[in-house]
Amino acid sequence: MDDTSRRWLKHVTPNPLIATATAARQKAFAPFSHFQVGAALEAPDGTLIPGCNVESASYGLTICAERSAIFRGVCDGYRCFKRVAVVTDTDTPTPPCGACRQLLWEFAPDAEVLLANLKGDVVKYTVRELIPGAFDAKQLG
């Protein structure tokens, strides 16, 4: 991603969505990578849905924070989301992996994405910017 064209926000006013993702990050289970990630989705009614990454010794069974939040939201009856926040403890905010981008496309194609780190840096994208030319049900015929 080319961050030179992105709008960086430094030390923004406390944001409930980012705060929810930060709290979820504290619950992450990452004994192998030690890379804790928290995510939070905002449903159309304003409900905030947290998620965290959960690792497995069989790495293929690991789930990312973003997908954890999506699955939890779906279980709670939601089928679309309007915003997402992802929080990591990195020098620069970290974007979702490809699998998470795909599911965000399917459940939140118009969502605003806030990527944040623990230093207070925030970068804004949209899901459409993160996954141009996305695959979805339209391609299934």
How far apart CA 86 and CA 53 sit, in angstroms, is 11
- Report which DSSP code applies to 3: G
Question: Does 129 participate in catalysis according to the annotation?
Answer: no
Pairing of the two strands 83-88 and 112-117: parallel
CB 30 within 8 A of CB 55: yes
Q: How many Å apart are CA 105 and CA 86, to the nearest integer?
A: 15
42, 55, 66, 112: which is the annotated catalytic residue? 66
Which residues form the catalytic set? 66
